Amino acid sequence: MHQFYDFFAGGGMALAGLGDHWECLYANDIDENKARCYAKNWGDAHLQVGDIADVEPSQLPGRPDLAWASFPCQDLSLAGSGEGLGGARSGTFWPFWRLMEALRAERRPPRLVVLENVCGAITSHGGKDLTEIVRAICDGGYVVGALVIDAEHFVPQSRKRLFIIGLQQTVKVPAETMKNSPTDLWHPPALVKAHGKLPDALRKKWIWWNMAPPPPRRSILADIVETDATGVRWHTEQETARLLEMMTPSNRQKMDLARSLGRPVVGTVYRRTRPDGCGGRRQRAEVRFDGVAGCLRTPRGGSSRQTIMIVDGKSVRTRLLSAREAARLMGLPDEYWLPDNYNQAYHVSGDGLVVPVVRHLTEQILAPLVDSEELKAAAA
Domain-wise residue ranges, the chain = 2-214+351-379, 233-321
Query: What residues in the chain have per-residue pLDDT under 70?
Result: 74-90, 276, 299-304, 373-380
Q: Is the dihedral of CA 26, 29, 33, 34 positive or negative?
A: negative
| ∠ Cα 350 353 358 (to 5°) | 160
Q: Which alpha helices (H) appear in the chain, and where do they start and end?
A: 13-18, 32-42, 93-105, 120-123, 128-139, 189-197, 200-203, 221-224, 237-245, 249-260, 323-329, 342-350, 355-361, 367-371, 373-379
Provide, for the chain, the percentages of residues in helix, strand and coil under a 3-state DSSP scheme, each rounded to the nearest 5. 40, 20, 40
**Strand pairing of 178-179 and 208-209?**
antiparallel
CATH architecture of 2-214+351-379: 3-Layer(aba) Sandwich (3.40)
List CB contacts of 257: < 8 A, sequence separation 6 or more: 289
**Strand pairing of 265-275 and 208-209?**
unpaired
Whole-number Å distance between alpha carbons of 348 and 90? 18
Whole-number Å distance between alpha carbons of 22 and 371? 12
Question: Are 148 and 162 within 8 A, CB to CB?
Answer: yes
At 355 the pLDDT is 98
For every residue of 213-227, DSSP letters joined together read: PPPPP---HHHH--T
In terms of C-beta density within 10 A (0-12 exposed, 13-18 middle, 19 or more buried), how is residue 291 classed? middle
At 30 the pLDDT is 95
At 301 the pLDDT is 43
Residue type, 164: I
Question: Are 172 and 207 within 8 A, CB to CB?
Answer: no
pLDDT tens digits for range 93-141:
999 999 999 999 999 999 999 999 999 999 988 888 899 999 999 999 9
pLDDT tens digits for range 288-342:
999 999 999 875 544 468 999 999 999 999 999 999 999 999 999 999 999 999 9
Contacts 24+ apart (CB under 8 A), 239-246: 239/318, 240/316, 240/317, 240/318, 243/269, 243/271, 243/285, 243/307, 243/309, 243/318, 244/285, 244/316, 246/271, 246/283, 246/284, 246/285
At 302 the pLDDT is 43
Question: Are 100 and 57 within 8 A, CB to CB?
Answer: no
